[in-house]
Amino acid sequence: MTYIKARKINFRPSEANHRKEEVYISSIFNKFLILISLLIVSGATQANNMTEQALQQVIENHLDKELALLAKQREWQSFQPQWQVWIPGSVKHLKVCETPLVISGQDNQLLPVGNLKRSVDCYDDNSSWSINVTIKASLSLPVVVVSTPLSRDQKIDASMLKMEMRTLTHQDDFFTKLSDAIGKQATRRMRVGQILEPTLVTAPPIVTKGNEVIIIASKNGVNASTQGVALEDGGLGEQIEVQNSSSHTVIHAVVTGLNQVQTQF
């Protein structure tokens, strides 16, 4: 009996330890299955969510189309844009949009350069959302620059300008054709190498103060003309004061040509 009792004492702890090992292994296995399930669910959820890379590609494609339309309108021959897009990290919590994303500007910028803001909206029936992104944009293209110092009121000719490739990062406008700038008049002094901006030039007057002008008056399709004297300078399409040489009456008339103005009566 002593032998048997001793035998049972030695056997039972071994059996208990074996059972503990089975429970421990089973617990680890169950935890492993739960972890795998969570990873699968998480992976499936992430697969249905937006990513920064996907949204960035959509935004860059939109900006490329936006710039291509502007280039066509302004007849740019060649240009190279650069985009740096900042997207909030919260995008990873947004569902993939089943309908095309709607991108709209929030800055009313004339040119797509500098710091831009865009709103991205999803109008999917199952998941609608909106997110704002910022873009740092630059644009490289040939522009008209000043090749000799210009004085105020100086008339610009071809020898004073040249074309040069520049990278633009601000909203200042520019010329891309020499022909658009030649013949204009500088409104301020300009230095060599300065980009010629449309706001820095004006069309020279084709009517000068003191010049004799032809006044064309029209009413109901009937035209009549008389002589007058310009009381101020005026460019094409500008309204100036003119004195009728016969009646000495001062009228307002629109410059329509060289030393020619038109008014209504």
If phi > 0 it is left, if psi is from -120 to 50 it is alpha, else beta; for residue 47 that is alpha
Percentage of the chain exceeding pLDDT 70: 82
| CATH no. of 212-264 | 2.30.30.760
What mean pLDDT is predicted for residues 185-213? 94
Q: What confidence score (pLDDT) does residue 25 get?
A: 62
Give, in words, the CATH class of 143-202. Answer: alpha beta
What mean pLDDT is predicted for residues 88-113? 90
Residue 151 main-chain phi, psi, to 5 deg = -100, 160
What mean pLDDT is predicted for residues 209-229? 91
- Per-residue pLDDT tens digits for 145-172: 999 999 999 999 999 999 999 999 999 9
Q: Pick the range with the lowest mean pLDDT from 37-51, 52-66, 110-124, 233-247.
A: 37-51
Tokens coding 47: 């697969």
Q: Is 150 exposed, middle or buried (0-12, 13-18, 19+ CB in 10 A)?
A: buried
Tokens coding 38: 């969570």
In terms of average pLDDT, the best of 14-18, 19-23, 193-197, 231-235 is: 193-197
Domain parsing of the chain, residue ranges: 1-47, 52-140, 143-202, 212-264
Residue 129 has pLDDT above 80, yes or no: yes
DSSP string, 99-140: S--EEEESS--SSS-EEEEEEEEEE-SS-EEEEEEEEEEEEE
